[in-house]
Every structure is written in C-alpha cells, then in structure tokens.
C-alpha cells in the first residue's frame, strides 16, 4: 500500500514529465513558416462567377500583409472576405485588397454574384 506522500510524489513526477514533453515537442515544431503566399496574389473569376481552376488556398503567417487582386470576367455585386468582414463592390475589375493578417484561422473569400448567388473563390489560411 502506497503512502500518501508517495502518491503525491508520483503525481508531481507525472506533471513534471508532461511539462518536459510539452516543451520538447513545442520547440521541435514551432517553425511553421512553410510555403506562405507573398506579394500580390491574383484570383481570376470566370463569367459564371466561379474561380478559374477552383478555389485556391493561400497560406499566411499572422502579421503578413495580404494582397489580393480579384479579376472578374463580368461585373458582380461584391467580394467578401469572411472573418475580417471586408466587403468591396465588384462592378469594376480588378477588386483589390491589401490588409494585414491580424486574425489567425481559416477564412473564405467569397464572390456575391450579380444574380444574388454566392460562391467561394479562395481560402485564406493564417497560421498563428
């Protein structure tokens, strides 16, 4: 039968071990800056209001400047960046965005078409 002190000691050892594992694993993997998008990213939208080649995923790190040029084949209602809640009228092409990546997470960029439908044209993936 273990004594109370032995049990508490065991729990303390477990906590210490867990913290060590945490620190080791975290320092090994903290560099997530792989393949981020840089400079102006061009998104082409065809006459049906869909992105040419399907919606792209653009990866950024928090703090990067996000710069998008959305080329539209015909006038649409607006382009909407979710989460950041930036909406720009899309009567004239290109629709340009330039804003810092302040929020991390995944955000959809969506076109609100002139026929009142909506569709994704890109996904912004912002690493913390």
Partner 1 sequence: MMRMKRLKLAIGLAMASPIAALLFPDVASAHALVGRKDLPVPAWLFAWGASLVLIISFALLSVAWTTARLQTEGWRAMPRWFSTAVLNPATQVVCGLIGVGLFVLVLYAGFRGIEDPTQNFSIIFVFYTFWLGMVLLSALFGNVFRAFNPWRAIGRVISGGFRLVAGESAPTPFTYPDAFGRWPAVIGVLLFVWLELIAGGGVAPTPHKVAVATVIYSVITFACMALFGADEWIDRGETFNSYFGMFSQLGPFEVRDGQVGRRKFLTGAPQWAAIPGAAALVLTSIAVTSFDGAQEGVLSGAIRWTFERSSDIGFSLPDSFRIANTIWLLITLAVVSGLYWLGVQGMHTVRGSPPVKELGRSFAHSLIPIALAYLVAHYFSAFLYQEQAQFTYILSDPLGHGSDLFGTAGGGINYGIVGSNTVWYVQVAALVIGHVVALTLAHDRALAVYDNIRHASRSQYFMLAVMVGFTCFGLFLLSQANA
The answer to whether residue 52 forms part of the interface with partner 1 (CB under 8 A) is: no
The answer to whether residue 106 forms part of the interface with partner 1 (CB under 8 A) is: yes
The answer to whether residue 29 forms part of the interface with partner 1 (CB under 8 A) is: yes
For 57, 87, 88, 111, the CA distances from 51, given in Å and listed in that order, are 12, 18, 17, 9
For 10, 80, 94, 118, the CA distances from 112, given in Å and listed in that order, are 59, 7, 15, 4
For strands 105-112 and 78-81, give the pairing: antiparallel
* Closer by beta carbon to partner 1, 50 or else 93: 50
The answer to whether residue 2 forms part of the interface with partner 1 (CB under 8 A) is: yes
* Closer by beta carbon to partner 1, 40 or else 86: 86
The answer to whether residue 64 forms part of the interface with partner 1 (CB under 8 A) is: no
> CB under 8 Å to 22, separation ≥6 — which residues?
none
The answer to whether residue 21 forms part of the interface with partner 1 (CB under 8 A) is: yes
Q: Which stretch binds partner 1 (CB under 8 A): 33-41, 68-76, 82-90, 93-101?
A: 82-90
Among 41, 87, 104, 114, binds partner 1 (CB under 8 A): 104
The answer to whether residue 118 forms part of the interface with partner 1 (CB under 8 A) is: yes
Give the binding-site size for partner 1 (rule: CB under 8 A). 38
Q: How far apart are CA 38 and CA 55, in angstroms?
A: 18
For 43, 45, 97, 113, the CA distances from 125, given in Å and listed in that order, are 15, 20, 16, 23
């Amino acid at each position: 039968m273990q004594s109370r002190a032995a049990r508490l000691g065991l729990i303390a050892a477990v906590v210490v071990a867990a913290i060590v594992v945490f620190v080791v694993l975290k320092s090994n993997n903290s560099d997530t800056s792989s393949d981020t998008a840089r400079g102006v990213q061009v998104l082409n939208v065809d006459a049906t209001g869909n992105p040419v080649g399907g919606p792209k995923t653009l990866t950024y790190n928090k703090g990067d400047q996000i710069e998008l040029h959305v080329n539209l084949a015909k006038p649409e209602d607006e382009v909407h960046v979710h989460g950041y809640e930036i909406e720009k009228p899309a009567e004239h092409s290109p629709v340009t965005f330039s804003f810092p990546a302040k929020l991390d997470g995944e955000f959809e960029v969506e076109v609100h078409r002139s026929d009142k439908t909506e569709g994704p044209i890109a996904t912004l993936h912002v690493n913390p």
